[in-house]
Amino acid sequence: RLGLERADTAEKALSVIVDLLEKYGQGGNCMESHMTFTYHNSFLIADRKEAWVLETSGKYWAAEKVEGGVRNISNQLSITTKIDREHPELKKYARSNGWWDGEKEFDFAATYSYVNTARMTTSRGRYCEGYKLLNKHKGSITSEIMMEILRDKESGINMEGGFMTTGSMVSVLPQQPNLPCIHFFTGTPDPAR
């Protein structure tokens, strides 16, 4: 929200977010119950001309400029070796902790998480299923198709049960500046409604 408030481009919003991350760190508990549950955050940031994926691990972060095709995020780090911007000490910190030897190509998701990056798009899970649904409609995604994808319960994208999806947003951002941007938000806790 602060990125939207303080920036007029996607890349400037990315800068706002990483500056706040450096100053204040990650947020607190992700649940209203007394059980402690925290995680690191990921963001899809877009304007009319460009889009970025920003993923964090504590105060460390990596950002990937989306150059084309489709891109999704979901409960895991997904930026691998294509890193367009990064925390200035990202690699140094990984090396000092023995997570990266400094020799092989740096892979953010593999270094900062337990994810097998070779299996991210093939093993069944929210990230993989979202990737499949987006690729199925690649080149012809409309706001209606995006809403269908976000309502999908079988894939786990629209979660129900212990953890529930509480809201979704679909934005149409025409590249032509004379056309208005349109934003759709769910008004209920379940995006399938």
Same-domain pairing of 89 and 129: no
pLDDT at 120: 57
Same-domain pairing of 92 and 110: yes
User: Tell me: the pLDDT tens digits for 14-66?
Assistant: 999 999 999 998 877 766 777 776 778 899 999 999 999 999 998 999 999 99
Domain end among 88, 116, 144: 116
Look over the chain and give the mean of its residue pLDDT values, rounded to a whole number. 90
CA distance 151 to 37: 25
Same-domain pairing of 139 and 112: no
| One-letter identity of residue 183 | H
CA distance 84 to 62: 8
Least confident piece of the model among 43-57, 120-134, 149-163, 177-191? 120-134
Same-domain pairing of 4 and 26: yes
User: Tell me: the pLDDT tens digits for 109-126?
Assistant: 999 986 665 565 556 688
- Tell whether the model's pLDDT for residue 192 goes beyond 90: no
Domain end among 84, 116, 148: 116
Strand order in the sheet with 51-57: 42-46, 51-57, 60-66, 85-86
Domain end among 82, 116, 150: 116
Same-domain pairing of 46 and 62: yes
Tell me the residue range of the domain where 146 lies.
121-192
Pull the structure tokens for residue 90: 């990202």
Same-domain pairing of 58 and 140: no
Same-domain pairing of 62 and 125: no
Same-domain pairing of 93 and 136: no
Same-domain pairing of 87 and 34: yes
Least confident piece of the model among 8-22, 64-78, 111-125, 128-142? 111-125
Structurally, the chain folds into a number of domains equal to 2
Pull the structure tokens for residue 183: 């934003």
pLDDT at 74: 86
